[in-house]
Amino acid sequence: MTVAEGEARASVVEGAPWWRQAAVYQIYPRSFADANGDGLGDLPGVTSRADYLERLGIDAVWLSPFYPSELADGGYDVADYRDVDPRLGTLADFDAMLDALHSRGIRVVVDIVPNHSSDRHVWFQEALAAGRGSAARERYIFRDGTGTDGAEPPSDWQSVFGGPAWERVADGQWYLHSFAVEQPDLNWSNPEVRADFVRTLRFWSDRGVDGFRIDVAHMLTKDLSEPLPSAAELELIPRDGDHPLLDRDDVHEVYAEWRAVFDSYDPPRTAVAEAWVDKARVPLYARPESLGQAFNFDLLEADFDAAQFRAVVQENLELAAASGSSSTWVLSNHDVVRHASRYGLPHPARTADGHPAQKHGSEWLLSGGTSPVLDREAGERRARAATLFVLALPGSSYLYQGEELGLHEVAEIPDAERQDPTFFRSRGAEIGRDGCRVPLPWEPSAETAFGFGSGGSHLPQPEWFGRSAVSVEEGDPDSTLSLYRRALELRHALQTAESLEWVETGRADVLRFRRPNGWEVVTNFGGSPFPLDRADAVVASVPLVEGALPADATVWFGPVALRVGAGRRPDRRSGLVPRLDGLVRDGLAS
């Protein structure tokens, strides 16, 4: 079953494609729900929680990799692009999951990892067996070494996860791996590689998948002509489209071909690029002729700070407009410290160009979560305010599983139980990303891995997870889960054309903006209450106090003359159009 245009829950403004202003919920499948009790989340687990996803009010699910993998990098080491990891289910389970989500009006986006495969991929095994000079090696990037007997790597490049980017194989040649050793880079100059990915895109599109998230979309094509530059020289080469390794102009030849594939389906399949490139070059990926949308990760680096938030919003709306795409907003994902924790820690030191000197939260993670001291309550309160701010922005919001529970990062994972290659390749200098990948708590009892499954949990869950369990928060109208549900429901009713207008507040620490239909949002990033000039709030991240917006809080006001039920479709079971005034009444703070 597919989701027909216009029937979905998507916040569709008439005539606009569903993805432009969607709320997309990222599922990290191994940590979402475990149906078969082996300690690893799986696809039947996702299916079993389809009602939860429907009730949450999201428009689409993005599934991180669920393909066969040795899990050297949490599934981003793919051994077969056109199958399901047997530990996570079967293709039939995938189809059942897709039907369960589609029948609830939820679209499905899958992750494609084209820069590298797993070293367990049949192609890499063939490359090892076939030896130097073979066609099989041409699918990857093999080179002879330097120095006596080629015993030194072809260059001194470092991998993203730390340590050398070249690994030697038994016959003495070396292969390039931009990430872990188990993730050999594919050779995108080879037409066979290109053709195989087209096959993969068609395979999932034919099954009914609605779109794709493209992993490190800026890294596929490379110019490896000899002599290879040194790591120091690489740093000095401008990233203007002709850098040997990053963000090359010729990568868009690949995406033009993919675009033709996407557009051969009805409705066209969508794609969103994970592209870590200079701001000015993001539109190249987001153009309709290319992938169509690109992630904007600026809020992952921003403090909970009015000036920083405003600058990020302004710049990214302009960039989206320049590309013809819509903007994307991300506060958390599977690669960063959860935003509830980031906002409960001191602001990080910044470099001269404004970026955090270290990944935000890394010092705290290294201390096992003891130093600096995490202010859990402030972090969660600010996270709620930031989410409500972001959900009202024009464009798509990408949400990460567990943030709807206000979950904090788990900092107390023993080293022996860590999984992230970042931790191992940096020899513990960086803790890595396991803390945001701990399986979700569904119930308060630790007996069942907090409802995750009967067979324990592949990463250890802390005792405090119980307090944030879904079943606990569902019963609490003031919980973060209740706030997300209310906000996502209202977002459908309030959605409007893709623009905003800033409204002056007279305070540097308070932002206010208005959408074209009069939907208004005020966020108080400061420490003192902000008196409001309206009393018709539809949702707030904390109760309003005597007509004022407290510190670290956001409030939404609906359009003054809102048509009740506008833009919302009838409830599947009752057939009734939910009334916005009911939502407003239920959701209103004092």
Distance spanning both ends of the chain, measured CA to CA:
43
User: Which DSSP letter does residue 542 get?
Assistant: S
Whichever of 273 and 470 has its CB closer to ligand NOJ, that residue is: 273
Integer Cα distance of 32 and 446 in angstroms: 16
Q: Tell me how crowded residue 5 is: count the other CB atoms within 10 A of its CB.
A: 13
Contacts of 93 (CB under 8 A, 6+ apart): 42, 43, 44, 47, 84
- Using an 8 Å Cβ cutoff, are 333 and 359 in contact? no
Integer Cα distance of 35 and 521 in angstroms: 40
> In the bound complex, what is the minimum distance in angstroms from residue 423's beta carbon to ligand NOJ?
12
Whichever of 220 and 540 has its CB closer to ligand NOJ, that residue is: 220
Residue in the block written with tokens 């709306």: 317
Q: Which of 274, 298, 335, 520 is an active site residue?
A: 274
In the complex, the residues that contact ligand NOJ under the rule CB under 6 A are 73, 76, 113, 179, 215-216, 274, 334-335
Compute the CA torsion angle 520, 525, 528, 529 (nearest 10 deg): 20
Whichever of 17 and 162 has its CB closer to ligand NOJ, that residue is: 162
226 tagged catalytic: no
Q: Which of 215, 403, 473, 498 is an active site residue?
A: 215
Of 269, 295, 268, 267, the closest CA to residue 283 belongs to: 295
> In the bound complex, what is the minimum distance in angstroms from residue 515's beta carbon to ligand NOJ?
31
Omega cis (within 30) before 227: yes
70 tagged catalytic: no
Of 501, 321, 304, the closest CA to residue 393 belongs to: 501
Integer Cα distance of 334 and 401 in angstroms: 9
> In the bound complex, what is the minimum distance in angstroms from residue 174's beta carbon to ligand NOJ?
20
Residue nearest to ligand NOJ (CB): 76
> In the bound complex, what is the minimum distance in angstroms from residue 480's beta carbon to ligand NOJ?
24
> In the bound complex, what is the minimum distance in angstroms from residue 17's beta carbon to ligand NOJ?
25
Whichever of 159 and 205 has its CB closer to ligand NOJ, that residue is: 159
Strand partners, 116: 185
- Using an 8 Å Cβ cutoff, are 332 and 26 in contact? no
Whichever of 183 and 461 has its CB closer to ligand NOJ, that residue is: 183
Tell me the two tokens of residue 367. 């201390």
Residue type for position 317: L
Omega cis (within 30) before 394: no
> In the bound complex, what is the minimum distance in angstroms from residue 304's beta carbon to ligand NOJ?
23
Whichever of 71 and 216 has its CB closer to ligand NOJ, that residue is: 216
> In the bound complex, what is the minimum distance in angstroms from residue 50's beta carbon to ligand NOJ?
25
Omega cis (within 30) before 268: no
Whichever of 55 and 334 has its CB closer to ligand NOJ, that residue is: 334
Contacts of 197 (CB under 8 A, 6+ apart): 81, 112, 114, 254, 258
Whichever of 59 and 335 has its CB closer to ligand NOJ, that residue is: 335
> In the bound complex, what is the minimum distance in angstroms from residue 440's beta carbon to ligand NOJ?
18
Integer Cα distance of 533 and 551 in angstroms: 16
Compute the CA torsion angle 238, 242, 244, 245 (nearest 10 deg): 80
> In the bound complex, what is the minimum distance in angstroms from residue 123's beta carbon to ligand NOJ?
17
Whichever of 180 and 313 has its CB closer to ligand NOJ, that residue is: 180
- Helices H, strands E: what count in the chain? 17, 17
What is the DSSP code string of 87-116?
TT--HHHHHHHHHHHHTTT-EEEEEE--SB
Please identify every residue annotated as catalytic.
215, 274
